[in-house]
Each structure stands twice: as C-alpha cells, then as structure tokens.
Chain A
Amino acid sequence: MSSCMTPRRLPLRVLTAAFLFATLNGCVNLDDAAGLSKLSDEARVSLPKVSNDVAGTCARQNTLFENTPPAERPPTEQAQDCKPYQEIANHLAKDENVLADYFDALGKLSSNKPLGYDATIDQNVTATGANSALAANTISAGNDAQSVLKSLADAATKGYREKQLGQLIQQTDPAIQSLTQSLKKVITVDYALLLSNEELSLDTFYKGPMASAQPNERLALILVQRQYARDKNALQSRKDDIVTYGKIMDDIATLHTKLKQEADKKASIVEIGKQVGPIIESLKSALSDIQSRSN
C-alpha cells in the first residue's frame, strides 16, 4: 500500500496528520489540493441546467402562446420555432463540457494520471464547428472551446505528465479567458433578453385576463393570481441563475489566472492550494446554488 492513500472516516486529527505526512512526502497533488476533478464533475451537472434553458424558455413561451385562445391573437401569428434555440443550447453544453474536461484533465495531469482523451476530443471538435447563423458570442465560445480541445489533444498525444502541467496552463490561458467571457456574455446578455421576453409573455398571458375578470369569477381569479405568482417566482429563480452563472465564469477565469501565475513562479502545491482555495470554495458554492434552485 502506498502512503499516498487517504484513509476514510477517520477522525479529523488523523486525517490532518495523514495529509501533512503525504504533503511532506510529495504525494499531495494539485487535484488533492484544489479538487479540480470534483469541481469539473459539479460544473458538468450545474452549468447545463442554465444553458439548456435557452431552449426551455422558448418552449415555455410557446406553451403560453398556444394556451391563449385563438380569438385573442391574430390568426397569422405562429408559435416560435425552438429548433435554433435548441441548437444554441447544444453548442453551449458542448462548450461547458470542454471547460469541465479541461479542469478534469488538469486534475489528472497533476496526479500523473494519463489523459486518454483522444476519442472524445475528435468527436467534440467536429461537433463544435462554427455556424454563421449563431450570434457572435456563441461562435466565439465555440472557437475558444475548439482551441482548448486542441491543446488537450496535443497534451494527450504527447503523453503530457505532471511536469508539463504549467506548460498546458500557460498555452491554454488565452482560450480559457476568452471562453469563460464568451459563455458569460451568451448567458448574461443574450439569454437574459430571452427571459425578459418570457416575462413579457407571462405578463401578457396573465394580466389581460386578470384585468378583465368579472366579479363572479372571484375564486377563479385567486387561483390564476397564485399561478401567475408561481410562474413569476420560477422566472426570478432563473434570473438568479444568470447572475450565478456569470459569477462562476468570472471565478473560473480568475482560478485559471492564479494557476498560471503560480505555474510561472513554479510555486509549491501547498502554495497553489492556498492561493486557489478561496476561489474553489466560491465556485463550489455557486455551482451548488444553481443545483439547489433547480431542485
């Protein structure tokens, strides 16, 4: 048995002693110190909950449209075609996945595990091909994601190990900075406008009939008012997710900047852990907020 193994379910003092012992023996790696692999697992679950809603909001708006009596809307008006929105959501999910793959790869490399990403990389690079019908931020995110994937493919092909970790971080930093900012803009600006549209759809759907309700419809009105309030609350929760998503992207960018700075300084793992710890905590908390709001 290696002394690097962390015993489970032991008192805190024993665990701390084991960690210190492992650190002194050089067994603690960046993944242990920063929890990059775990972080990427959480990002893989939480981030698509927000970006998938680019298509979700279109579907909800169509439901409101279809539930509006035909006599109250022009016969020429059609429900929205949600397919382009679904395509954008799919692109974003792939880009987020690349981000998660990258941090997972950093964790693996830092613990000297082989990457083994070749097949996935080939598939994803093909899938994230640029589409000129998409908005600039979506295209930019796709291009950055491809750049990150190519760096990962190189790292896998060349059999990078822990020693080349700094090199990978340095060469990927511009793409990571750009990818996080592009994803942030798609969600906090483009998707935010779609949610504002949904809010207008909700107001249009509920407020008109509520304003024209007759005195003998008092109980029905109360029920409708409650449903309206519920729908508005759900929408507010999605708006909160937008703010959190933006913060996550900023935190990931800051985390990568810190990792790059520490790599430049050839800092010790303990020092890196100390530097990135607060950012990792902030990220975990933000990812968990999205998760809990979706439950």
Chain B
Amino acid sequence: MKISPPVPPTATTLTDDQMQALAQSFHDIAVGIGQVRLDAITAGSKLTDPGIVQLQGYVYSLMNTAAGFALQAANLTLTSADQAVNQISVATQAADHALDKLKDIDKAVSIASSVIVLAMAISTKDLDQITSAAQSVAASAGLAT
C-alpha cells in the first residue's frame, strides 16, 4: 500500500486587515509602556533612571514595529497564518491588559522585551519561533500557558 507523504501546511500571506490589527496591537502596547514610564516619572523616577531609559527605548522600538507592519510589510507570508495571527493576538492582548495601571517598572520592561522578541520572531516567518515568543509574552504578562 502506498502511503502519501504528509501535506505541509500552506503558507498564506496575511491580509491587509490582519496586518493592520498587528500594527495596532504593537502601537497599543507602545502606548501602555509609555504610560507606565510616565506614571513612574510622575511618582518620582528620574528621566535618566536606567528602567525609565529602557522603557523609552521600548516605546520607540514598538512604534517602529507598528509603523513597519502598517506601511511596508505587504509580503508577510506565514505558514498556518491564521494560527500564527491568533497566537500573536492572544499574546499581545494579554500584554496590553497587563500593562494597564501597572506600577512595576521591571515587570513592564519584562513584558516590553518579550513583545520585541515576538516582533522579531514574526519577521523570521517561522511558526515555531512565533509560537515560542507568543508564549513568552503571555507568560511575562501573567497569562497561564
């Protein structure tokens, strides 16, 4: 009996709406990080404190990521695109939620850095890397995986 080889998952180019949703998610997290930074400054942190400087850098990076998704990445093709988008969406929503009214700078740094890793994983177009990075974001945001 002849056994057919397993069919590899097909690669799909993300729709414009999916790209927009990604861009908006990364922008929203940048806003959340910016708010944590501002709250910390209002509470007495200095503009040059290492944690504040780090958060500032993450705000820039996340904004650049969002802009990149919005304007330049029409050719983002992923295997199992819907599954990848779903994982990214769950992770970024968890991050956004965790940042709301967060006072802990270290936790904000941890969330932001994991989101940056997720953005880099998306650019590799590798589903395994995206899955792993999305799980890290969810974990740093306190979501059980």
Contacts and interface: CB of A to CB of B under 8 A. Distances in A.
Contacts of B27: 193, 196-197, 200
B79 interface: no
Secondary structure call for the B interface: helix
Nearest to A71: B48
A132 interface: yes
B53 A72 contact: yes
Interface stretch (A5-13, A112-120, A136-144, A221-229): A136-144
B132 to A, nearest CB: 24
Contacts of B10: none
B2 to A, nearest CB: 40
A211 B41 contact: yes
Interface residues of B, number: 35
B19 A194 contact: no
A190 B60 contact: no
A139 B118 CA distance: 27
Nearest to B23: A193
B71 A84 contact: yes
A74 B63 CA distance: 15
Nearest to A130: B74
A220 interface: no
B128 interface: no
A132 to B, nearest CB: 5
Contacts of A133: 72, 74-75
Interface string A179-204: 00000010001100110110011011
B56 A204 contact: yes
Interface of A is mostly: helix
Contacts of A207: 38, 41
Contacts of A102: none
B4 interface: no
Nearest to B58: A74
B46 interface: yes
Contacts of A73: 53, 56-57, 60
A197 B65 CA distance: 11
B57 A76 contact: yes
A84 to B, nearest CB: 6
B59 A135 contact: no
Interface in B32-70: 34, 37-38, 41-42, 46-48, 52-54, 56-57, 59-61, 63-64, 66-67, 70
Nearest to B59: A204
B141 interface: no
A77 B48 contact: no
B31 interface: yes
B54 A200 contact: no
A152 interface: no
B143 interface: no
Contacts of A208: 37-38, 41, 47, 52
A225 to B, nearest CB: 15
A211 B63 CA distance: 22
Contacts of A189: 20, 70
Given A204-B37, A209-B47, A211-B42, A135 B72 contact: yes
B119 interface: no
Given A196-B27, A201-B63, A203-B34, A137 B16 contact: yes
A153 interface: no
A164 to B, nearest CB: 35
A236 interface: no
A19 interface: no
Interface of B: 15-16, 19-20, 23-24, 27, 30-31, 34, 37-38, 41-42, 46-48, 52-54, 56-57, 59-61, 63-64, 66-67, 70-75
Interface of A: 54, 61, 65, 68-69, 71-74, 76-77, 80, 84-85, 88, 132-139, 185, 189-190, 193-194, 196-197, 200-201, 203-204, 207-209, 211-212
24 contacts: A54-B71, A65-B60, A72-B52, A72-B53, A74-B53, A74-B54, A74-B56, A77-B57, A77-B60, A80-B64, A133-B72, A135-B70, A190-B71, A193-B24, A193-B27, A193-B67, A197-B63, A197-B66, A200-B30, A204-B38, A208-B38, A208-B52, A211-B41, A212-B41
